[in-house]
Structure 1
Amino acid sequence: MAFSLQPVQVKSMQTPAARHLQLNNPHMNNTQSTAPFPAARFIKEIGRGKNGARSLSRGDACDLYAAMLDGRVSDLEMGGILLAMRIKGESVAEIAGFLDAAEASFTSISIPSENRQQYAPIVIPSYNGSRHMANLTPLLALLLAREGVPVLLHGVSTDPGRVTSAEIFQALGHAPCSSVEQVQTCFKQQVPAFMPIDALAPKMARLLAMRRTLGVRNSTHTLVKIIQPFAVPALRLTSYTHPEYLEMLSAYFMTTAAAERGDVFLMRGTEGETVANARKAQKIDWFHAATQTTLVEKQLIAEEPPMLPEHADAQTTSAWIKQALAQQDLVPKPIEEQVEQCLMVSKALHAQHHTDAN
C-alpha cells in the first residue's frame, strides 16, 4: 500500500505507533467519528471462506479495526467480521493494520528519566494461564525485575478452568496496577507491574471479551500478545500455538514491524504462555531490525525433571515461586536460559536506543 505524508497535529498523549501512523497513513486522523461504520464491503472480501476470501489492505484493516474498537460496528456485522477472520486467518497486512489501530487506541507508558536503568523494558503478555502445569510466568517476571528490568505483564485477571498470572501475583501479595503511575512505581521498586487489559487497553478488552459470546477466540487474542505499550523501544515476549501463526508472525516481524519499536522473542507457548517450558526448552527466535536469529534451539529430549510445584493452583505455585526466588538452584534451566537471553537483548536494546538518541 502506498502512504503519503500528510501534515497533522499530533497530541502528546498518543502512542508512538499512533504518531507514526498519522504521519504516514491518510486513513487516520485526529477526529474520532461516532457515526455507524458500514462494514458490508469488508465482510464481502473476507467472508468468502478460507479459500475464496481476499485479504484487506493495511489501510482498510486499520479503518475496520478502529471502527470496531470505537463501537461503530453493529453487533450483527461484528459477529460476521470476527467469524470470517477466524475462518480465513489474518494476513501480514491485516495484522499490521489491526495493530496500527489497536496501539492508537490507548495511552503509551513512559519510563521516568530518573528511573531509567540499563535495560529496555520487557513486555510479557499473559492471556492463557495454565490448566495442567504450574504457570511460571510470574517467576520469569520476578527474576527479570530484580535485575533492574522494567517488566510489564498485561493480561486477563481470571479465566475459567485456568490459573492466571494475575491470580498467582495476588497470592504473592502483588496487587494489579490500574494506572500508568502505579506501573511506574513498580518499576522504581524493581518489581513486575501487572496491568489487566481492562486498564491498559479497555477498547481491546471489550473485543477480547466477545469470546464469551461467540465461543471462539478472535483476532484480538493475537493482537494483545504483540502490542508494544511503551513510548520507548521494548523487548516483547510473544508466543504462538498453531503453526500457521508462527509463519504469519515471523513474516510480520521480519518485513513489517517497525524496528524503532524494539525487538521480539517468538516461541511456542507453554500452555499458551511466554515462559519457557520448565521440562523441555522450546526454540526461541529473536527478531531485531528485520533479522531473525535463533537464540535457543528446541530441546528434543527432556532432561531429569526439575523439582516443580506439586499442584498448579495459585497458592501452591506462589509458595514454590517464593522458594525458587530464595534458592536459585530450584529455577528450571530453560527459564534460567530465557532470563539470560532477555537480559542480554534488553541491555543491548537500551544501549542502542540511547546511542541513537544522542
Structure 2
Amino acid sequence: MFSVGMALAGIATKGRNTMQQFLKEVGRGKKGAKDLPYEAAKEAAAQIFDGQASDAQIGAFFIAERVKGETVDELLAFIEAARERSTVIPHSLGGVLDCAGPYDGRAKSFAATIPVAAVLAAAGVPVVLHGSGTLPPKYGVSLREILREAGVPTGGDGQTVGRMLNQLGIAFIDTENFCRPLRQLRPVREQLGVRTLLNTAEKFLNLANADYLVAGVFHTTVLEKAAELAVKLGYKRAMIVQGIDGSEDVPVNRPSALYWIQDGTMEKHLIDPKRYGLHAENEPANLTAAEQAASIAGVLQGEHAYRNMVLLNSGLRLWLTERVQNMGEGIELGRSVLDAGDAWKKFEDWRRAPAESP
C-alpha cells in the first residue's frame, strides 16, 4: 500500500529543493499535519542547514513543527544532521558525562550544574558543559555568561577544549563555535522568538562523544519523548530530568520525575529530596550572572543556601556515571569532596586554565 511516508521518502532522494513539499505535509494545521519519516526529516534538515531553504521556509517549518509537535524520529534526524556538520572535541578520556541544559538560560534558578561539575571532576568523573549565548524564548542568563563572570575560559578551538578536558576532567563547549548550523540559524531563531525543535536538538549533539548524559526538560509532556530520544542515541547510561527552568538540575523543594536509561530501556523514577535529608525551600531565583558566580563560589567554599541542591544533583550524577553504587553513596562522596575543598580547588584550576592552545 502506498503511504505518505513512502512518498516523502521518495521525495527526499530526488536531490531537488523539496522544502515546499515538506512544508505542505507538516504545515496542514494541528489536525491535518503529517509527521515526517526519518529520511525525509533528515533531508529537510540538510536543506535547512546547507542554505537550500529560505529564511521564510525555515521559519515556517519550525513553526509548523511546533504546532504539530515534533516526533522522536524528526528530532533524531535533525540531531544527526547537525552533528554531521559539527566538529567533535578530541580527547582521550572514557566515562565522560555530558550535562545538557537549556540554551535559553536560567531565568529563575541557580545554575547548580556548574558547581556539581566541579564536584564530579574532583571525584574523578570527567564532565562537559555546553551552551551558547542566550536564546529565545526565555532569554535567561546563559552558562557561558555565568562562567565568564566567574573567570572560567569559555573560548578556544577543539584542541584547546579537548586539552582542558584531558588535563582537568572538566570543560565547557561553546556549541556555536563547533556546530555551523546552530551558528548560522541564530538570527532566524532570534527573529522567531519562540521555542523550536533546535532547543531540544542542541542538547543532544554530544560533541565530546560522552558515554553518559544528564539532560533537562521543562514540561512533563516531553519527558518521555526526550527519554526515547536518549535511548535511540545509544548512551551507556542517561538520565532525563524534569529540572528547574528546564535544566538538568533536580530541585530540592519538591519531588521530581526522571527517566533512567540503560541497556536500551527506560524506567521512570521519582526523586524525593526528603528521603536523603536534603529538602530545602529555595525560593525562585532571578539571579544575574554576577550573582550566579558569587553563589557558585559560596557553595564550593563552604555552607551556602544552595548546598543541598548541589549535593542532591552530585549524588545523582555520581550514581549515573557508576562512580558509586547508589545515590546515597553519591551524596556522601559529594559531601566529602566539598568539605575537603577538592571541588573548589578543581574550580580554581579551571579558572586558571589557558583560554587558547599554546
- Give the TM-score taking structure 2 as reference length: 0.76
Cα distance, 1:126 vs structure 2: 4.1
Deviation at 1:136, TM superposition (A): 2.5
Q: Establish whether residue 223 from structure 1 lines up as the match of residue 201 from structure 2.
A: yes
How far apart in 2 are the matches of 1:208 and 1:128? 12
Report the Cα offset of residue 65 of structure 1.
0.4
Tell me if structure 2 keeps the 8 A contact 1:135–1:312. no
Are the aligned partners of 2:223 and 2:258 in contact in 1 as well (CA < 8 Å)? no
2:290 corresponds to which of 295, 315, 323: 315
1:119-157 Cα distance to aligned partner (Å, 9 max, x none): 333333341322233332322222222223222211123
Label 1:262 to 1:238 Cα distance change in 2 as closer, same or farther (>3 A).
same
Distance 2:100 2:171 in 1: 10
Aligned partner of residue 195 in structure 1, secondary structure: strand
Give, as a single letter, the amino acid of the residue that structure 1 aligns with 2:308.
Answer: K
Which secondary structure does the structure 1 equivalent of 2:101 belong to?
strand
Give how far 1:247 is off: 3.2
User: 2 CA distance for matches of 1:179 and 1:248?
Assistant: 33
Q: Does 1:194 align with 2:172?
A: yes
Letter in 2 for 1:240: V
Report deviation, 1:346: 1.9
* 1:290 match: 264
Q: Where does the alignment leave 5 or more consecutive residues of structure 1 unmatched?
A: 1-24, 30-34, 350-358
Residue of structure 2 aligned with 1:41, choices 17, 21, 30: 21
2:152 corresponds in structure 1 to: 174
Q: How does 1:57-68 map to 2 (within 5 A)?
A: 57-68=37-48
CA distance in 1, matches of 2:127, 2:216: 17
Q: Please, which runs of 5 or more residues in structure 2 have no aligned partner?
A: 1-8, 325-358
After superposing on structure 2, the runs of 4+ consecutive aligned residues of structure 1 that deviate more than 6 Å are 25-29, 308-311
Where 1:175 maps in the other structure, the secondary structure is coil
Change beyond 3 A, Cα 1:78–1:28: closer
Deviation, structure 1 residue 49: 0.9
Q: Which amino acid aligns with 1:268?
A: Q
Q: In the alignment, what sits opposite 2:228?
A: 251
- From the superposition, tell whether residues 298 and 28 of structure 1 become closer, same or farther in structure 2 (CA, over 3 Å): farther
> Offset at 1:209?
4.1
- If asked which structure has higher relative contact order (CA below 8 Å, sep 6+), I would say 2
Question: What code does the residue aligned with 1:54 have?
Answer: K
Alignment match, 2:55: 75
CA positional deviation for 1:73: 0.8
Distance in 1 between the 2:286 and 2:25 partners?
Answer: 47
From 183, 186, 189, the counterpart of 2:161: 183
Q: Work out the CA distance in 2 between the residues paired with 1:52 and 1:287.
A: 33
RMSD between superposed Cα atoms in Å: 3.2
Going from structure 1 to structure 2, the CA distance change for 1:132 and 1:263 (only over 3 Å counts) comes to same
Q: C-alpha displacement at 1:85, in angstroms?
A: 0.6
Corresponding residue number in structure 1 for 2:311:
336
- Judge which range, 199-208 or 57-66, deviates more: 199-208
Q: 2:98 pairs with 115, 118, 122, which one?
A: 122
When the two structures are aligned, how many residues end up with a matched partner? 312
Once the 2 structures are TM-superposed, how far is the Cα of residue 64 of structure 1 from its aligned partner? 0.8
Residue of structure 1 aligned with 2:184, choices 194, 198, 206: 206
1:234 to 211, 214, 228: 211
Query: Residue type matched to 2:261 in 1?
Result: F
2:115 counterpart residue number: 139
| Cα distance in structure 1, aligned partners of 2:161 and 2:270 | 30
Change (3 A) 1:82 1:28: closer
Q: Aligned partners of 1:39 and 1:186: how far apart in 2? A: 41
Conserved? CA contact 2:19–2:53, under 8 Å:
yes
CA distance in 1, matches of 2:22, 2:115: 43
Contact in 1 for aligned 2:299/2:307 (Cα 8 Å):
no
Answer whether contact 1:310 1:316 (CA < 8 A) is retained: no
2:124 is the alignment partner of 1:148: yes
Contact 1:135 1:164 in 2 (8 A): no
Change (3 A) 1:247 1:199: same
- Normalized per residue, the structure richer in helix is 2
Amino acid aligned to 1:245: V
